[in-house]
Each structure stands twice: as C-alpha cells, then as structure tokens.
C-alpha cells in the first residue's frame, strides 16, 4: 500500500512542476484524495457493497469536486491536476500514467446499460474542460486538447482538438515518416542521427527542415485559397534544387569523417 502511495506522489512530481514536497502533495492535491477514495469505493463495488461504494464515492465528490463512479476501473499513476468538475462514468476504463485536468468528462451518450463510457489507454492526456463521450478507445499516448468534444475513437499517439474533435497530429510515427520523406526528397539525411548520438548541427538542420515543412504546408493552403479566387500566382514553378549541391554536402561529410 505504501509502495502505491509513493508511486502516486512521484507521479505528481513528474507531471506538476508546481509540486514542492511529499507533504504538500499528501495534503493539498484533491486529485490524490479522489483517487484514494476511489480505490476504496471500487473495492466495495467489487465486493457487491454497492450502496456503501456509492456513499464513499459521493463523499469523495463532496470533498474534492471530482466525481468518479465506483465501477470505473483505473490503472496506476493516474494523475488528476486541479480536478474540480471532473466526471468519470461507471464503465470508463483508464490505463496507466493517464492525466486529466479540471472539468474533464468521461461520459456516455446513451442510456443503455453496458459499456457506454470511453476507454483511455496508457499515457493519455486529456486537457482542461474536454469531454470524451461514448464507448470508444482513446489510443495510448494520445492527447485531447482542452475544451475538445471527442465522440469517436482516437488512434494511439494522435492529438485531437476542437468541437467536434479533429485530429491535428496523427502520431509521432507519422511526424517521423514525414521527416524521412522530406529528407529523401532533399537527398540529405539530417535525421540519420539517433537520440543516443545527439549531433547539434544535424539537430539544428532537422529543426530547420521541420520548420520548412510547416511553412510549405501553410503556403500550400494559401495557394489553394488564391487558386479559388482565380489567381494563377501559384502556377509559377519554384526554382529546382540540384542533386550536385547535395552530392557536394555528402562528399564534404565523408571527407571530414575520413
């Protein structure tokens, strides 16, 4: 039990830069109090002491402003920051290392019995005020933006924002794939450096390419808008990049390395 308590407190230090010491976390974090009371109410629920479980859950709500149904299943290192106004429904399932901010609802959209609340896989972060409604899965490591309303499944690693929720970043893997594509297009692999071998120059070039890609996407959008207005400005070809420039860079690199 003390091991779990220690783990809970550590999870606060990892995710809230404002946390200063264990005593402060024990006494001043309503999210922690709500989780501990939920563990008790969930235990009573599994023993089929349903009324007592509801009483404990209601006491937790009264104390913290966080309403967690005793039937909800919650993994380890769950962190609720601020907490006030959170509602977690009966059939919600929450994996490990999940973070919720104030005002989040994990709710249902039907009055049918059975699974009607979402499943959040490990590492999901749900921003303040977001509503996740329905019996679908938010994949591991996904982020839900503050005030989003999500009613459909979210793939692992994706970021979803707005009403209705739309995916703005598919996953880190997609970002990596885009980087590879642009590096191949340019004939220069600035990303051929792994996390374990941080080369500051290659990293800086990598950042520039990321930025270039973002500017490219924005220009494409602007060209689309200009085309729609009947302009032919974007029909003009951009100057081409010539392979020999990159051959030169590659040769230079090899000479240096040699």
Ligand X SMILES: CC(C)(COP(=O)(O)OP(=O)(O)OC[C@H]1O[C@@H](n2cnc3c(N)ncnc32)[C@H](O)[C@@H]1OP(=O)(O)O)[C@@H](O)C(=O)NCCC(=O)NCCS
User: What residues line the site for ligand X (CB under 6 A)?
Assistant: 82, 101, 127-128, 143, 145-147, 159, 161-162, 168
Shortest distance in whole angstroms from residue 128 CB to ligand X: 4
Pairing label, strands 159-161, 166-169: antiparallel
Shortest distance in whole angstroms from residue 161 CB to ligand X: 4
Judged by beta carbon, residue 72 or residue 161, the one nearer ligand X is 161
Judged by beta carbon, residue 69 or residue 143, the one nearer ligand X is 143
Judged by beta carbon, residue 214 or residue 245, the one nearer ligand X is 214
Please give the torsion angle defined by the CA atoms of residues 49, 56, 136 and 7, in that order, rounded to the nearest 10 degrees.
Answer: -110
Structure tokens at 134: 């329905």
**Residue 108 to residue 118: CA distance in whole angstroms:** 8
Judged by beta carbon, residue 189 or residue 210, the one nearer ligand X is 210
**Residue 139 to residue 127: CA distance in whole angstroms:** 15
Structure tokens at 22: 């264990």
Shortest distance in whole angstroms from residue 167 CB to ligand X: 11
Judged by beta carbon, residue 147 or residue 151, the one nearer ligand X is 147
**Residue 225 to residue 159: CA distance in whole angstroms:** 26
Give the CA angle between residues 117, 119, 120 to the nearest 5°: 130
Shortest distance in whole angstroms from residue 166 CB to ligand X: 9
Structure tokens at 11: 């999870």
Shortest distance in whole angstroms from residue 80 CB to ligand X: 11
């Amino acid at each position: 039990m003390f091991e779990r308590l220690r783990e809970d407190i550590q999870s606060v230090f990892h995710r809230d830069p404002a946390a200063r010491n264990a005593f402060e976390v024990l006494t001043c974090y309503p999210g922690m109090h709500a989780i501990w009371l939920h563990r008790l109410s969930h235990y009573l629920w599994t023993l089929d002491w349903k009324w007592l479980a509801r009483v404990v859950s209601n006491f937790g709500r009264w104390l913290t402003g966080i309403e967690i149904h005793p039937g909800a299943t919650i993994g380890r290192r769950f962190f609720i920051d601020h907490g006030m106004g959170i509602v977690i429904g009966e059939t919600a399932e929450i994996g490990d290392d999940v973070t919720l901010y104030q005002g989040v609802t994990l709710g249902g959209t039907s009055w049918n019995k059975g699974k009607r609340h979402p499943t959040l896989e490990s590492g999901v972060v749900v921003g303040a005020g977001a509503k996740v409604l329905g019996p679908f899965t938010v994949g591991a490591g996904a982020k839900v933006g503050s005030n989003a309303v999500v009613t459909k499944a979210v793939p692992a690693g994706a970021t979803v924002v707005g009403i209705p929720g739309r995916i703005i970043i598919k996953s880190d893997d997609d970002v990596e794939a885009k980087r590879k594509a642009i590096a191949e297009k340019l004939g220069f692999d600035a990303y051929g450096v792994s996390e374990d071998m941080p080369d500051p120059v290659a990293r800086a070039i990598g950042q520039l390419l990321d930025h270039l890609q973002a500017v490219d996407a924005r220009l494409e959008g602007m060209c689309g808008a200009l085309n729609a207005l009947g302009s032919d400005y974007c029909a003009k070809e951009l100057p081409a990049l010539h392979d020999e420039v990159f051959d030169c860079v590659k040769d230079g690199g090899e000479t240096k390395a040699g």
